[in-house]
């Protein structure tokens, strides 16, 4: 267990609830303003916290970005596990994963940070996030390959198709706003229909 993970796991439910809220607010700030345009004071102001109170939850802006990205990776991994456990064809499993991932990005777990500031991370944090992203991409590509093998997905370049879909999905938090004109159900319905048309044999 990493030092950061151990440090947070030692706290109780109330701490973890507030820490999760911090990561959601920070994710929204980073998505809107980027790493350089967001300060810890901006995040503290959104949460009505003092600087000292914020440092109880996070030690630096770099660590805050890293924790936001870990949270995003964890939600993506959970969606992937749910999709993989779904019955049916490769297409069914791929669409199930995408539906769960869309729900994580736009539903009650949001906002989720866009991983656009990975170069700003320390080397060890950058390596961790990139490795998580690599494993996730490979898992999705495996679902596409499974669908091609069983005839439910049209033959395609698995890597390029996976990257194109992941790029579309991962960019959603940049433009989606909870309570806005576009609802979670609309996002899930439209994206799922589009991916079905794009992938279906």
Spell out the domain ranges in the chain: 61-199
* Listed residue (16, 23, 62) closest to 43, CA to CA: 23
* Listed residue (130, 155, 135, 134) closest to 144, CA to CA: 155
Q: How confident is the model over 170-177, as a mean pLDDT?
A: 92
CATH of domain 61-199: 1.10.357.10
Asked if the model's pLDDT at residue 72 lies above 90, the reply is yes
DSSP for residue 10: T
Confidence band for 10, pLDDT divided at 50, 70 and 90: low
Instruction: Look up the pTM and report it.
Output: 0.88
Q: Beta-carbon neighbour count of residue 33 at 10 Å?
A: 12
C-beta separation of 136 from 77 below 8 A: yes
């Amino acid at each position: 267990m990493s030092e950061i993970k151990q440090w947070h796991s030692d706290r109780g439910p109330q701490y973890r609830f507030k820490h999760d809220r911090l990561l959601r607010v920070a994710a929204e700030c980073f998505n809107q303003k980027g790493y350089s345009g967001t300060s810890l004071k901006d995040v503290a102001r959104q949460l009505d916290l003092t600087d000292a109170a914020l440092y109880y939850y996070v030690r630096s802006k770099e660590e805050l970005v890293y924790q936001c990205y870990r949270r995003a990776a964890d939600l993506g991994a959970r969606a992937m596990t749910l999709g993989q456990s779904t019955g049916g064809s490769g297409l069914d499993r791929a669409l199930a994963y995408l539906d769960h991932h869309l729900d994580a990005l736009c539903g009650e777990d949001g906002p989720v940070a866009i991983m656009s500031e990975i170069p700003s991370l320390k080397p060890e944090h950058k390596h961790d996030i990139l490795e998580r992203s690599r494993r996730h991409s490979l898992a999705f590509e495996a679902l596409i390959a499974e669908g091609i093998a069983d005839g439910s997905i049209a033959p395609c370049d698995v890597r390029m198709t996976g990257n194109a879909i992941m790029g579309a999905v991962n960019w959603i938090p940049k433009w989606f706003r909870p309570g806005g004109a576009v609802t979670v159900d609309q996002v899930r319905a439209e994206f799922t229909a589009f991916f079905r048309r794009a992938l279906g044999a």
